[in-house]
Amino acid sequence: MADLETARLVLRPLVRADAPAIQKHFPHWEIVKYLTSAVPWPYPDDGAEKYMDAFLPKVAAGIDHIWGIRLKGHLGDPVRDEVIGLVHYHGADPADPADVPTRGFWLARAFQGQGYMTEAVFAVNTYIFDVLGVEKMIIKNARDNKGSHRVKAKTGAVLIGVEPAVGKYLGGYGEQEIWELTAENFRRARDEARVKAQGGAA
């Protein structure tokens, strides 16, 4: 894994030292209600450590890649050096023929609605498709999760279906959206975003 950088963010591979920041920012209902019911709720005091126990071995095995999101700032700034969210890419486990590449994310409440997650996802998707050589991901979210819907649409994912999801999300949502994100569609969305950022210049 590599550090990733955007205009406003630095994304670094998750390490155990990030656990206190995750324990601080993650366990809020507004964040977890759209997440899988596999997430323990109420969130235990050692929830971040248990998350790392479960997934860091998969990172070491090259199956999963998890980046902690940080705001750029002055070196040593205690606020801007702490993780404010995660982007978690799960690659297909070769031991499971039914497994498919997917990706999830969350962002602390104070930083939502400012475009940070879209920025982070563009960077992570670039790594997934251009460095890891992945051709396609299937990504799902609770149908009521409008923020996740917007990020997927902006970054090139195509909504391919809606299916029942009773019991799959902590918030109890009855349906989930299914998205397909191909390398081709992502690169097209990335190019369009770059043109837009340059004021429409070709």
Weakly modelled stretches of the chain, pLDDT under 50: 202
Instruction: Give the per-residue pLDDT at 98.
Output: 84
pTM over 0.85: yes
Which pLDDT tens digit goes with each residue over 68-96? 999 987 556 655 679 999 999 999 888 88
Which pLDDT tens digit goes with each residue over 27-53? 999 999 999 999 999 999 999 999 999
Residue found by looking up tokens 């205690």 in the block: 78
Residue found by looking up tokens 């095995």 in the block: 61
Contact 132, 9 (CB under 8 A): no
Instruction: Give the per-residue pLDDT at 202.
Output: 46
Q: What is the DSSP string of 44-100?
A: PTTHHHHHHHHHHHHHHTTSEEEEEEEE--STT-TTTTS--EEEEEEPPPTT-TT--
Instruction: Give the per-residue pLDDT at 77.
Output: 64
* Domain parsing of the chain, residue ranges: 4-197
Q: Which CATH class is domain 4-197?
A: alpha beta
